């Protein structure tokens, strides 16, 4: 039974962490690896490509990631699966999402200022600087 008072949570200031035992906790957003074993639901308002770290690839080795566009528009790029191949791109607009496969390097670029939501297990998350920037 919940003993914490019920109140609203600002999803743009905090994240929700879903614990392996089913508990849901309000926590600081983490963009790097976490050993908590919790799934993170994080929401962001982003204005520029810098806000989404368009200059970096990201990868989650232990879980898929749902990237949801709540408002605005973004392009999600997947690193080529084979050397010499081209990037795959999925365009998201308000109300759409994409599921990034476990272990697949990906990045975002904005079409417009946007509100985004990310849902994933952050354990083992890796970031890598892009070397192919335009």
Tell me the helices (H) and strands (E) count for the chain, helix number first: 0, 9
CATH for 15-129 is 2.60.120.10
Least confidently predicted of 2-16, 62-76, 109-123: 2-16
Categorize the per-residue pLDDT at 133 as very low, low, confident or very high, splitting at 50, 70 and 90: low
Q: 44 pairs with which residues across the strands? A: 116
Q: What is the pLDDT of residues 53-90, one digit of tens each?
A: 899 999 999 999 999 999 999 999 999 888 888 899 99
Q: What integer pLDDT is reported at residue 17 of this predicted model?
A: 93
Q: What integer pLDDT is reported at residue 1 of this predicted model?
A: 46
Least confidently predicted of 27-31, 69-73, 89-93: 27-31
pTM: 0.89
Q: What integer pLDDT is reported at residue 106 of this predicted model?
A: 97
Question: How many angstroms separate the Cα of 95 from the Cα of each of 9, 13, 20, 77?
Answer: 21, 21, 28, 18
Burial of 75 (0-12, 13-18, 19+ CB in 10 A): middle
Model confidence at 6: pLDDT above 80: yes
Q: Mean pLDDT over all residues of the chain? A: 91
CA–CA separation, 14 vs 7, rounded Å? 14
Least confidently predicted of 17-26, 58-67, 79-88, 109-118: 79-88
């Amino acid at each position: 039974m919940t003993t914490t008072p019920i109140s609203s949570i600002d999803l743009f200031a905090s994240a929700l962490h879903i614990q392996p035992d089913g508990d849901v906790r309000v926590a600081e957003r983490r963009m790097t690896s976490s050993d908590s074993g919790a799934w993170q639901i994080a929401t962001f308002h982003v204005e520029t490509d810098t806000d989404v770290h368009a200059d970096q690839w990201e990868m989650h080795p232990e879980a898929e990631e749902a990237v949801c566009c709540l408002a605005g528009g973004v392009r999600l790029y997947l690193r080529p699966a084979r050397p010499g191949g081209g990037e795959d791109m999925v365009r998201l607009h308000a109300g759409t999402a994409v599921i990034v496969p476990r272990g697949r390097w990906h990045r975002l670029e904005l079409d417009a200022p946007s509100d985004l939501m990310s849902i994933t297990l952050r354990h083992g998350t890796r970031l890598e600087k892009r070397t192919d920037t335009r």
